Amino acid sequence: MDRSIWSAIAMPPAGASACTLPAALPGHVGATIAHPRLGARKPPRTRLLSLSVGGARGAAVLTMRRTLAWTAVAILVAVVVAAVVLPRLRGTEASRVDPDGSGGWYDIAFAIPGGPDACRPRCLDTRLVQFIDGATATLDVAVYDFDLAAVAEAMARASSRNVRVRMVTDSDTVANVKDQKVQGALRVVRGAGIPIVEDKRHAIMHDKFAVADGMRVLTGSWNFTEGDTYRLDNHQVILVDERIAANFAREFDEMFTRRRFGPSKASVIPHPVVEIGHSIVETHFASANDPSEPLARHLSAATRQIDFLAFSFTHDQLGDALLARAQAGVKVRGVFEKTGSETRYSEFRRLRDAGLDVMQDGNPGLMHHKAFVIDGRVTAFGSFNFSDNAANDNDENLLIVTDPAFARAFTTEADRVVAVARRAVAR
């Protein structure tokens, strides 16, 4: 949870995945996306009749037997590949093989509020532990809030097998001495000899990401805490692409190595736009750059529908973009986290009073998403709250992905959050 915004809210609260994947690929266990049960059926037993023949005819029969046997083996192998291997490579719609056939490049999961039993075996903390356990050379972690013992232990295990592990966090987290879970997790990390760098400034280091082996990135709205895992609505995305990983690695080095945070960081991103097959991935970091500007451009280009989920939405220019699109006939639907949405800074009342289909969240915990889905094709997500502080002061990340299948996963989550909100109003 974003303590700097809602410091008065208490935060109360892993299983194995449905299948085990190679370490180089993300775990395919999306929280709201059904994962197939994998397994191959035994082939029916076949009994060959014994033929008592000799000479050339006997040799021909033996050759035929061998041919039949090898054919049966080939069929069995094909069945196993079709039933087990291909589904693991394809995953679900939100964890698909890209059009060029180079392997699954993203994996989306959503928190399931209700405690560990509600999300097992697809809990976000379990996925992160698997992500860390798969690291073989390097692991960099930048996270705002941190209290998960299992994640700290996974980081320590990685260090013990000679993976270079480094961490960046917010000074408020380190200074949170009253929270024993936070301090316990930090002790495990420090005890493993893992260096931790704090931002040491008034604005916040609000990122939530991990980079492994220069190839895999885990990011989203999810802090590495029990509350974010078991009580809050959150998203977590794993991406497999060395160019995207290079973007996040540079951002991490700005903070860890150069000790630069917020607007003082270098504004250069190695690969700002990455094409993967027919998909496009934009990487944006605050606050050396302002992610609200490219986001506003995408919103202004909408022609049919905009869905959004907003923990904090106080950014007037983004609100203006939604109002302009609604006046042009675009359907706008959105859910605000209830806490803070009634303040004079929030865009909630302005959008509601203009007739847009916006509502307050119904989750008894918090709706912690920061996401837009535009025309069922473009998805913007990450740590970036829709606020001036996030744009101009904090350390944040925002990814904008153009990919219809990717967008469908977030639209499904938006449908669920909207349904929870409407039920709360009906009560």
Longest dimension (CA), the chain: 98
The residue annotated as part of the active site, out of 370, 393, 395, 403, is: 370
Cβ atoms < 10 Å from Cβ of 338: 17
Burial of 379-399, coded b for 16+ CB within 10 Å and e otherwise, reads: bbbbbbbbbbbbbebbbbbbb
Q: Is 208 a catalytic residue?
A: no
Order across the sheet with 106-110: list the strands: 106-110, 235-240, 216-220, 208-212, 138-143, 164-169, 196-198
Dihedrals φ, ψ of 21, to 5°?
-105, 165
Q: Is 200 a catalytic residue?
A: no
Sort 204 into a burial class: Cβ within 10 Å, 0-12 / 13-18 / 19+. buried
Vertex 386: Cα angle to 405 and 186 (nearest 5)? 90
Residue 285 forms beta bridges with which residues?
A: 397
Q: Is 28 a catalytic residue?
A: no
179/176 Cα distance (integer angstroms): 6
Copy the structure tokens of residue 13. 């609260």
Amino acid letter, 381:
F
What Rg, from alpha-carbon coordinates, does the chain have? 25
SS3 42: coil
Copy the structure tokens of residue 3. 């303590």
181/2 Cα distance (integer angstroms): 17
The residue annotated as part of the active site, out of 290, 368, 369, 393, is: 368
Catalytic residue list: 368, 370, 375
